[in-house]
Structure 1
């Protein structure tokens, strides 16, 4: 999936929400799609480069956070639920410099989506833990992320 944007219509409401975030425009982020339950986002290196010619750490963590946020938001949107999704806390590990495009993938780290969606529908709030990674061209991890996201009913 890297490098190709999915035409999946279920992603359009998510893309519309992301389009309202200035950081998404500045980083030139696009939603590539969902593959095997993993949300895939892409950002080119040029607008996300540091003084060493590698990916800027702030861009890496931003893309990983947005990948997690996008996955939780998309899951709720697919269930017909509107929510405000926030990252509550996260841990990031920078393992190797990246001199290529940023390809992030995020997946549910703990629990299951049915419980998350049902809890939100019943209580108007739910939590989930999402893992994410940005890989080097050879497939090794450049940066890893684990975050707790909270969904709250709009109101």
Structure 2
């Protein structure tokens, strides 16, 4: 599944939902790539800086959490399933300070999207485990993430637009 097209209605829905989250707006998060089973979000350093001049840990964790949420939401929307997606639990490791823009990439850590979607169609809810990372500009990882997400049938309309 590859898309980075601005005309992907499922991706547009994820953008609108992200924009409805005040924290995401304050962090200035944008979708920079969606395809090949991955979603990448970016946020500039300036609104996400700490007292040491590096990326704030809460911003790193939030960006990876939202990348995982966006990835699951996007896959469900592409399959025509309106759903509410929640993070159930997560684990974050901070490996090195980041003094540059934050860019989180998320992917399915376990299983296949087809299985997740089949479970959702059958039960009206499904779980998946998603991994994410924020890389350092010179290579290596600044932060890594693993989270379990739950999708439930229904789905709410996005409340704001950017």
TM-score tier by shorter-chain length is over 0.9
Q: Which moved more, 1:80-89 or 1:5-14?
A: 5-14
Q: Where does residue 132 of structure 1 map in the other structure?
A: 132
Contact 1:41 1:104 in 2 (8 A): yes
Q: Which residue in the other structure is 1:25 paired with?
A: 25
Deviations 1:88-132 (A, max 9, x none): 000000000000000100000000000101110110000000000
For 2:136 and 2:5, the matched residues in 1 are separated by 22
TM-score of the aligned structures, taking structure 2 as reference length: 0.90
Please report the RMSD computed on the Cα atoms of aligned residues, expressed in angstroms.
1.3
Checking the alignment, whether the CA contact within 8 Å between 1:27 and 1:43 is kept in structure 2 is yes
User: How far off is 1:38 after superposition?
Assistant: 1.0
Q: Indicate the SS of the match to 2:146.
A: strand
How much does 1:6 deviate? 5.1
User: Aligned equivalents of 2:114 and 2:123: distance in 1?
Assistant: 14
Higher relative contact order (CA 8 A, sep 6+): 2
Q: TM-score, normalised by structure 1?
A: 0.94
Matches of 2:7 and 2:138, distance apart in 1 = 28
Structure 1: 5+ residue runs without aligned partners?
Answer: none
Q: Which residue of 2 aligns with 1:65?
A: 65
1:34–1:40 distance in 2 versus 1, CA, 3 Å: same
* Residue matched to 2:158: none
* 1:139 Cα offset (Å): 2.2
- In structure 1, the residue matched to 2:160 is none
* Conservation of the 8 A alpha-carbon contact between 1:11 and 1:33: no
**Deviation by residue 1:52-105 (Cα, 9 ceiling, x = unmatched):** 000000000000000000000000000000111000000000000000000100
The answer as to 2:111 corresponding to 1:106 is no
Pairwise CA distance, 1:154: 1.8
Distance in 2 of aligned mates of 1:144 and 1:106 = 10
